[in-house]
Amino acid sequence: MLELPDPLDQAPTRESIQHYVNQGIIDRSLRQRALQLSGFTPNAQAWVKFLNLMLLVLGAGLAVCGVFFFFAFNWQTMHRFVKLGLVQGGLLISTVAALWYGLERIEGKILLTVSACLVGALMALFGQIYQTGADAYTLFLNWALVITGFAIAGNFAPLWLLWWGLWNTTILLYYEQTGSYRDYNELLPLLSFNGLSFAVVEFLRQRKLAWLQTNWFHRVLGLGLLWVTLLISLNFSELLFWRYGNEPSNSLLLPYILAVVVIAAMSAYHYFIKFDGLLALASIGTVWFFVDRWLIEWLSDDFAISFLFLGMIILGQTIGSIIWVRQRQQLQGGQA
């Protein structure tokens, strides 16, 4: 039997505060004060902090974009040493400024992220000037390798997200440029890398690593992993039902089995260990996608009947999934 957690052990939520107000435990005149003390209604100091952070992020992003567009516009009129010197100078200034502010402060972390972006600009600039003839994937591979030290030193989620995106881009471009992209050989490395990334981040979150106690970073990784499983399902069904006459392809059979295992593991994890409303709903939706893809082929003999039944099935799946997530959310004290 599932035991309900003690409300006193739960972090306050909007739903729990409203429940206490409706029950008369908290006076209605004190509701706004309770929301402020719980952090749901920001005060003036919180707004100033938020605006300072947003302006800093926007300024850093616009500065990086300005570097790229500056070279794109003035490419023909600038000497190669001027191009390299400007990017290296910007990289040096941003790195020194990050160390001066300190990597434990948000200003230093954002400046270090700017430096990581400028590393890629410098590598791309070098390749354009000297025409090394290297494949595009080597740019992203070397970029990811170089900024690994930046990411470890910074302990900053957006910087690690850049690193994660570079590795995904490297894998995709490698298989596309080596001629094996059409065989979907990149799906197993993509599934392995994204699955390992998500597992490591979740493990470190459970160890209460401070900079990972955010609600968006692990969700991005989880959604990326589920996206790869959807690609595997689509490609497997395409090869199975349309290209090879019901003969499964060995190049996709193993990724498909692993994708099913990954989805089952994610669903079980969010049910028994650590509930997350967004990822739980996305995991259930992915499970239904795998099931519905087989139902489409099973009911494809009669289009009208299949269209009717699949519509009813998908509607029931959607309603059931939402009800399940809401029930789990209430058991967790209203937290998603």
pLDDT of residue 165: 93
The dihedral region occupied by 334, where left means phi > 0, alpha psi between -120 and 50, and beta the remainder, is left
Q: What pLDDT sits at residue 136?
A: 78
pLDDT at residue number 42: 65
Q: Are 131 and 117 in contact (CB under 8 A)?
A: no
Output the pLDDT for position 181: 52
- Write out the chain's pLDDT in tens, 336 residues: 445 555 555 566 666 666 666 766 666 666 666 666 666 666 677 778 778 878 877 887 787 787 777 776 776 777 778 778 888 888 898 899 889 988 888 888 988 998 998 898 888 888 777 776 667 788 899 999 999 999 998 888 889 999 999 999 999 888 877 765 555 667 888 989 999 999 898 888 888 777 777 778 888 998 899 898 888 887 777 666 655 555 555 666 788 888 888 888 887 887 777 777 677 778 777 887 777 777 776 766 666 666 777 777 778 777 877 777 777 666 655 444
- Are 284 and 321 a contacting pair, CB within 8 Å? yes
What's residue 164's pLDDT? 95
Three-state secondary structure call for residue 38: coil
pLDDT of residue 266: 83
Q: Which two tokens stand for residue 223?
A: 């959604």
User: What is the structure's pLDDT at 148?
Assistant: 92
CA quadruple 187, 157, 264, 334: dihedral, nearest 10: -150
Residue 330 has what pLDDT?
64
134 sits in the region (left: phi over 0; alpha: psi -120 to 50; else beta) called beta
Annotate 116-175 with DSSP letters as a single string: HHHHHHHHHHHHHHHT----HHHHHHHHHHHTHHHHHHH--HHHHHHHHHHHHHHHHHHH
Give 47: exposed, middle or buried? Use CB within 10 Å, 0-12, 13-18, 19+: exposed
- Quick one: pLDDT at residue 33? 66
